[in-house]
Copies of this chain bind each other. A is one copy, B any other.
Amino acid sequence: MTSSIQLVGFDGDDTLWHSEGYYQQAYADFEAIVGEYVDLRELALRQRLLTVERANLALFGYGAKGMALSMVEAAIRVTEERISAHDLHRIVELGKQILRHPVELLEGVRAAVEAVAADYPVVLVTKGDLFHQEQKVALSGLADLFARIEIVSEKDPATYAGVLARSGVAAESFVMVGNSLRSDIAPVLELGGRAIHIPYHLLWLHEADAQFEPAPSRMAELATAADIPEVLRAWSRPSAVHDALAGRG
């Protein structure tokens, strides 16, 4: 028997609105600028870029500002201080462009969130920079549909446990919807909740590293948000086994 659904969570970036494409474009532009100084086909150089970025992630956290600072520093290191102030300014601008990108909803998202919100309280659980995420939530036009908006710095089981505690909901009664197995699916399954995975066509390398016990009965994979209400309906229905037991009783 499955527990009733009392709360549905949605991820923001690449689940409700497009995001990763802007980061990947900025990174490609960054590589083009640095590529004017050094040959980035050299594996050792690429490795050095990644080393700077990884070390900074622990200090900066996620988001466009940390990425921009990291790109500036990586460019200086990899070019051995040969890069011009003009080109470093172009790199700062790449970060600003990410912060200014338009918020475009994925197809079918508005209707899907409206349909889910008509049946359950919905919470937005989005990771990254507080200031930027708040702006994106506001620009999305979806804010009013959410009972709570939780902007978090990391999406691990402890984070979701906090979200659930603040909402007064048990993990068994929670369903999370998102594009990242690592951030949206694995930690919720680990807590005993259910999850709907909707892959996005782009994925940040950092998010690709997900390890978890598969839990087929508590997980669904969809191609589009339009099918979310149908999955929730199926999960709310008493199971066949439950039906049989109920019939007997």
Give A residues with C-beta under 8 Å from B. 59-62, 65-66, 68-69, 72-73, 75-77, 79, 81-86, 88-89, 92, 95-96, 99-100, 129-132, 134, 151-153, 166
Contact = CB atoms under 8 A, between A and B. Distances in A.
B81 A89 contact: yes
A77 B86 CA distance: 9
Contacts of A84: 81, 85
A88 B91 CA distance: 12
A147 to B, nearest CB: 11
B72 A92 contact: yes
A151 to B, nearest CB: 7
Contacts of A95: 69
A152 B79 CA distance: 38
Contacts of A83: 85
A100 B56 CA distance: 12
Contacts of A131: 60-62, 66, 129, 153
Contact of A59 (B61, B62, B99): B99
Given A65-B66, A153-B131, A82 B85 contact: yes
Given A62-B131, A76-B86, 18 more contacts: A59-B100, A60-B99, A61-B131, A61-B132, A69-B69, A72-B88, A75-B85, A76-B85, A81-B85, A82-B85, A85-B85, A85-B88, A88-B88, A129-B130, A130-B153, A131-B153, A134-B153, A166-B166
10 contacts: A59-B100, A61-B129, A62-B131, A69-B95, A72-B72, A73-B92, A76-B88, A129-B131, A130-B130, A130-B151
The 5 A-B residue pairs with the shortest CB-CB distance, nearest first, are A61-B131, A130-B130, A65-B65, A81-B85, A76-B85
Contact of A129 (B77, B100, B129, B134): B129
A167 to B, nearest CB: 11
Contacts of A166: 166
A99 B153 CA distance: 15
